[in-house]
Amino acid sequence: MLNIHGTALLVGDRGVLIIGSSGAGKTTLALALIDHFSMRGKFSRLVGDDQLFVESRAGRLVAHAPSTIAGLVEIPGLGPRALPHEPAAIIDLCIRLAPAAGVQRFQDEAPEDIAGCGVPVIVVAERDVTAALPAVVASVKNLSFRLD
């Protein structure tokens, strides 16, 4: 089991992992995604914020929050707050937050090895939810699954 700095959520029946440096906007993007899909009547829920345990199970990446912070999200400027959450998720997509200069205009969601599992990754600009949200929503919708 590997401890990583990231935030994970469920959208429909798929897991999304958001990774990036401290202050890159992982929590802000996760909350925006949860809000976006919830406002459209789609299931979306936090799995864990800030620290996650990830491991390979039957060739799939599984993420869950440490028990000490399960169900807590650090809201920028307000601190930790309780939020409905799921205990774990199989991760189907990874969002990497990076400086805007390092983001390619066109990407192919190439798999990246995370804890021994190949997970499709897209890179979006850090600290820019307005620009990242449409790209992430489109990537999530392109996964072959139901959003209900």
Q: What is the DSSP string of 102-136?
A: G--SS----EEEETTEEEEEEEEETT-HHHHHHHH
Position 113 confidence tier, pLDDT thresholds 50, 70, 90: very high
Segment 55-81, tens digit of pLDDT: 999 999 999 999 999 999 988 788 899
Percent of the chain with pLDDT over 70: 96
Q: Which residues pair with 31 in a beta bridge?
A: none
Q: Look up the pTM and report it.
A: 0.92
Please check whether residue 42 is in contact with residue 147, taking contact to mean a CB–CB distance below 8 angstroms. Answer: yes
Position 148 confidence tier, pLDDT thresholds 50, 70, 90: very low
Averaged confidence pLDDT in the chain:
91
Question: Is residue 27 helix, strand or coil?
Answer: helix
How far apart are alpha carbons 12 and 145 in whole angstroms? 8
Percent of the chain with pLDDT over 90: 75
How far apart are alpha carbons 15 and 47 in whole angstroms? 9
Phi-psi region at 62: left, alpha or beta (left = phi > 0; alpha = psi -120 to 50): beta
* CA-based nearest residue to 50, from 103, 110, 9, 102: 9
Poorest-confidence range of 6-10, 15-19, 64-68, 141-145?
141-145
Q: Is the pLDDT of residue 143 over 70?
A: yes
